[in-house]
Amino acid sequence: MAEPTLPILSLSHVGKSYDAGGRRIEALRGANLDVARGEFVCLIGASGCGKSTLLRIVAGFEAATTGQALMWGKPISAPDPSRGMVFQDYGLFPWLTVRGNIGFGPASRGRPAGEVRDTVDRFVELVGLKSFADAYPHQLSGGMKQRVAIARVLANDAEVVLMDEPFGALDAMTRERLQDELLELWERTRLTVLFVTHSIEEAIFLSSRCVVMSPGPGRIDRDIPIELARPRDVSASDFNELRRELSGMLHSHHGRLAA
Amino acid sequence: MSAALSDTAAPAGGEAAPPAQAGGTSPGSGLLQVALALVLPVAILVAWHLATEGRTYSLIPSPSAVAVALYDLAFGGINDDAFSASLLTHVLASVGRVYGGFALAVLAALPIGLLIGRVPLVRQMLDPMLQILRPIPVTAWLPLAMIMFGIGPRSAFFLVFLGAFYPVLINTVFGVRSVEPRLFEAASMLGCRGSAQFVKVVLPAAMPAIFTGLRLGLGFAWVVIVIGEMTGVPTGLGALIMEARQLSRTEIVICGMIAIGVAGFISDRLVTLLGRRLLAWSPNHG
Ligand SMILES: Nc1ncnc2c1ncn2[C@@H]1O[C@H](COP(=O)(O)OP(=O)(O)OP(=O)(O)O)[C@@H](O)[C@H]1O
Ligand SMILES: [Mg+2]
């Protein structure tokens, strides 16, 4: 086990450039970020400021062009089950049922069939999809698909859950419900969450820390601890104060872009 | 206290069954469908009958003459000539060649298609040659096939193989190449990497396209069988048609055509049924 002071995730001077038709696009420059185990970190910022890029580097889908991303002090070089990704478009396997999708990770990692079955049962129950356990993804609503996507990552013993606008495509009511449930889950386990969102309210409601990014080139601008007591009330005055503050930061980016 | 992420998404009560599969026909519409499908064939049959019945010098036999010939071809007892009661022999010979050539084509096209779709080196090596061979119609291969394989069933086999090969290959390559990249990311972050993805991601994801290829390939196999059996084989529906043509037994020619149509239709239904079972997950197949 790692010593308690070691951050679970550590990014130092992480940069990423893409070659897009001969043009070099600097998606991310000099990002420094330490995340302690059990933190709920929200990444927020204007479109194109490198949020997805940062998440994909942590996931191991992309290699950083400069700098280094570490998990428990070891360089991240490839995707790994310890870092599970929840995609906005779900990324479920359409040919597998809910059970099949949740069991995909454990089965791929060679767990014995009986153990896989138990794990699947537990997580199907956990995300409340018991009556849909044998349904295929195309038979599920968006909210249910996102539950499956979360369950399959948790069923695979992920320590870090990476979420890229996971609730962006859902209606407001489903989104609020999933936010509550995600928080409950996070509080019960010792999960570390890195959560990209466009919604300031969502960021303040969920996170223990809000990382504000700015575009052109994408970089980390501010790192704001959110110390409001939970459960949080979106209409409370301290909540609104934070909302105003964050909104001001984000709009100053927009202004700078427009200028 | 309810567990996190629990139950709330299920419709009221949480007891709801999964939604029924879409796409089924509602009861009662079955008869109507059959009736609609019969309109045109019946009209053609009537027109055919009116145009040919009772005309002694018609080159096209009347439907009733064909019906009699078909009965004799199937069971004998009417004409007692070389064609009598020979239908089963011809059908079995053709079915054997169609499925044999088709199976061989699938065995070759499926792995080649998977490799072309996934391995750039294989694609660069094979794709140009296969693309140049592709436009050559099966008929054009006939003389060469007869030289390479001789006059007889092996040539027929080869031509059926050629006819079925490309549809299976092209659809397999297409299916493999159009697997969503997201699914590879999902698999690798869940711990399924490298060649394991071939079986657990590529193959199932490409299955709908592969099935389309199988259907088309089997259809082509039936199309090609007549040409294949022109290579001098004694039995088979193609051979039956050729022989009847030479003897000006047009009613037997039509019987052969009907037999090919029915056999092709049945085998297409079988593949479709198999596809429905295997592809229940796909909104376009299930
Ligand atoms: N594969 C790629 N090839 C070329 N450019 C890319 C690629 N991926 C991202 N980019 C560029 O990198 C920049 C950052 O993209 P990224 O997707 O990380 O932004 P984002 O903050 O997630 O935006 P959004 O909020 O719209 O999702 C953008 O300018 C984008 O065009
Ligand atoms: Mg993004």
* Domain at B273, CATH number: 1.10.3720.10
Phi/psi-derived region of residue B144, left when phi > 0, alpha when psi is between -120 and 50, beta in every other case: alpha
Q: Which of A181, A182, A187 is best to mutate for the B interface (most B CBs within 10 A)?
A: A181
Number of domains in chain B: 1
Domains and CATH numbers, chain A: 7-82+199-259 (3.40.50.300)
Q: Which of B2, B190, B205 sits opposite A105 (nearest CB)?
A: B190
The answer to whether B37 faces chain A, any CB pair under 8 Å, is: no
The residue with greater pLDDT, B280 or A14, is A14
Strand partners, A34: A10
Q: B98: domain range?
A: 87-278
- The best mutation among A52, A62, A165, A254 to test binding of ligand 1, ranked by most ligand atoms within 8 Å of the C-beta, falls on A52
Residue B167 belongs to a domain: yes
Give pLDDT, residue A66.
96
The two three-digit tokens of residue B159, written as one number: 């031509």
The answer to whether B194 faces chain A, any CB pair under 8 Å, is: no
Shortest Cα distance, chain B CAs vs residue A151, angstroms? 9
The answer to whether B182 faces chain A, any CB pair under 8 Å, is: yes
Kindly determine whether residue B188 and residue A127, on different chains, have CB atoms separated by under 8 Å.
Answer: no
Give pLDDT, residue A1.
54
Atom of ligand 1 at shortest distance to CA of A16?
A: 12
Kindly determine whether residue A104 and residue B192, on different chains, have CB atoms separated by under 8 Å.
Answer: yes
Percent of chain A with pLDDT over 70: 96
Q: Which of B1, B2, B5 is best to mutate for the A interface (most A CBs within 10 A)?
A: B5
Per-residue pLDDT of chain B (286 residues; tens, 9 = 90+): 344 444 333 333 333 444 444 444 455 678 999 999 999 999 999 999 999 888 877 889 999 999 999 999 999 989 889 899 999 999 999 999 999 999 999 999 999 999 999 999 999 999 899 889 989 988 888 889 889 988 888 888 899 999 999 999 999 999 999 999 999 999 999 999 988 999 999 999 999 999 999 999 999 999 888 888 877 888 999 999 999 999 999 999 999 999 999 999 999 999 999 998 889 888 877 5
Residue B235 belongs to a domain: yes
Q: Which helix (H) or strand (E) holds B161?
A: helix B153-177
Residue B241 belongs to a domain: yes
Shortest Cα distance, chain A CAs vs residue B1, angstroms? 11
Residue B162 belongs to a domain: yes
pLDDT mean over A101-109: 96
Give pLDDT, residue A183.
94
The two three-digit tokens of residue A137, written as one number: 């993804």
In one-letter notation, the amino acid at residue A245 is E
Residue B32 belongs to a domain: no
The answer to whether B1 faces chain A, any CB pair under 8 Å, is: no
- Looking up tokens 């079986």 gives B199
Dist. CA B115–CA B113, nearest whole Å: 5
CA distances in angstroms from A124 to A19, B8, B156, B280, listed in the order given: 42, 13, 54, 21
Dist. CA A150–CA B232, nearest whole Å: 64
Q: Which of A62, A93, A109 is best to mutate for the B interface (most B CBs within 10 A)?
A: A93
Angle at A158 between CA A157 and CA A163, to 5 degrees: 145
Which residues from chain A sit within 8 angstroms of residue B202, using beta carbons? none
Please tell me whether residue A63 adopts helix, strand or coil conformation: coil
Q: Residue A124 pLDDT > 80, yes or no?
A: yes
Dist. CA A109–CA A97, nearest whole Å: 19
Kindly determine whether residue A93 and residue B204, on different chains, have CB atoms separated by under 8 Å.
Answer: yes
pLDDT mean over A18-47: 93
- Give distance in angstroms: CA of A53 to centre of ligand 1: 6
DSSP, residue by residue, A130-184: GGGTT--GGGS-HHHHHHHHHHHHHTTT-SEEEEESTTTTS-HHHHHHHHHHHHH
Q: Which helix (H) or strand (E) holds A107?
A: helix A98-108
- Quote the mean pLDDT of chain A: 92
The answer to whether B19 faces chain A, any CB pair under 8 Å, is: yes
Percent of chain A with pLDDT over 90: 80
Residue B28 belongs to a domain: no
Shortest Cα distance, chain B CAs vs residue A131, angstroms? 6
Please tell me whether residue B282 adopts helix, strand or coil conformation: coil
- Give distance in angstroms: CA of A49 to centre of ligand 2: 8
Which residues from chain B sit within 8 angstroms of residue A87, using beta carbons? 182, 185-186
- The best mutation among A16, A44, A51, A198 to test binding of ligand 1, ranked by most ligand atoms within 8 Å of the C-beta, falls on A51
The answer to whether A142 faces chain B, any CB pair under 8 Å, is: no
Q: Residue A253 pLDDT > 80, yes or no?
A: no
The band of A256, judged by pLDDT with boundaries at 50, 70 and 90, is: low
DSSP, residue by residue, B168-235: HHHHHHHHHHTS-HHHHHHHHHTT--TTHHIIIIIHHHHHHHHHHHHHHHHHHHHHHHHHHTTTT-SS
- Give distance in angstroms: CA of A49 to centre of ligand 1: 7
| Residue A26 CA, distance from chain mean position | 22
CA distances in angstroms from A69 to A11, A58, A196, listed in the order given: 4, 7, 18
Burial classification of residue B121, based on how many CB atoms lie within 10 Å of its CB (0-12 exposed, 13-18 middle, 19 or more buried): exposed
Dist. CA B164–CA B32, nearest whole Å: 35
Atom of ligand 1 at shortest distance to CA of A19?
A: 4
Dist. CA A16–CA A64, nearest whole Å: 5
Give pLDDT, residue B57.
79
Give pLDDT, residue B27.
54
Give pLDDT, residue A4.
58
Give pLDDT, residue B286.
55
**Residue of B141, B102, B130 whose CA lies nearest to B219:** B102
**Residue of B97, B33, B44 whose CA lies nearest to B66:** B44
Dist. CA A185–CA A208, nearest whole Å: 15
CA B131, B132, B133, B137 torsion-angle sign: positive
Is A158 a pocket residue for ligand 1 (Cβ < 6 Å)? no
> Phi and psi dihedrals of B188, rounded to 5?
-70, -30
Give pLDDT, residue A120.
96
Q: Is beta strand A209-214 parallel, antiparallel or unpaired with respect to A40-45?
A: parallel
Q: List Cβ neighbours of B43 (8 Å cut-off, separation of 6 or more).
A: none
The answer to whether B195 faces chain A, any CB pair under 8 Å, is: no
Give pLDDT, residue A190.
83
The angle that helices B203-228 and B138-149 make with each other, rounded to 10 degrees, is 70
Which-ligand-closest: CA of A49? 1
Residue B173 belongs to a domain: yes
- Give distance in angstroms: CA of A198 to centre of ligand 1: 14
The two three-digit tokens of residue B224, written as one number: 């090609």
- Give distance in angstroms: CA of A54 to centre of ligand 1: 10
Residue B231 belongs to a domain: yes
Atom of ligand 1 at shortest distance to CA of A20?
A: 4
Kindly determine whether residue B185 and residue A79, on different chains, have CB atoms separated by under 8 Å.
Answer: yes
The answer to whether A177 faces chain B, any CB pair under 8 Å, is: yes
Q: Which helix (H) or strand (E) holds B246?
A: helix B237-246
Asked whether the bond before B167 is cis by omega within 30 degrees of 0, the reply is no
Q: Is beta strand A23-35 parallel, antiparallel or unpaired with respect to A74-75?
A: unpaired
Give pLDDT, residue A53.
95
Q: Is beta strand A66-71 parallel, antiparallel or unpaired with respect to A9-20?
A: antiparallel
Shortest Cα distance, chain A CAs vs residue B13, angstroms? 11
Model confidence, pTM = 0.83
Kindly determine whether residue A132 and residue B10, on different chains, have CB atoms separated by under 8 Å.
Answer: yes
Is A50 a pocket residue for ligand 1 (Cβ < 6 Å)? yes
Residue of A nearest to B191 (CA): A81
Confidence check on the interface: ipTM exceeds 0.95, yes or no: no
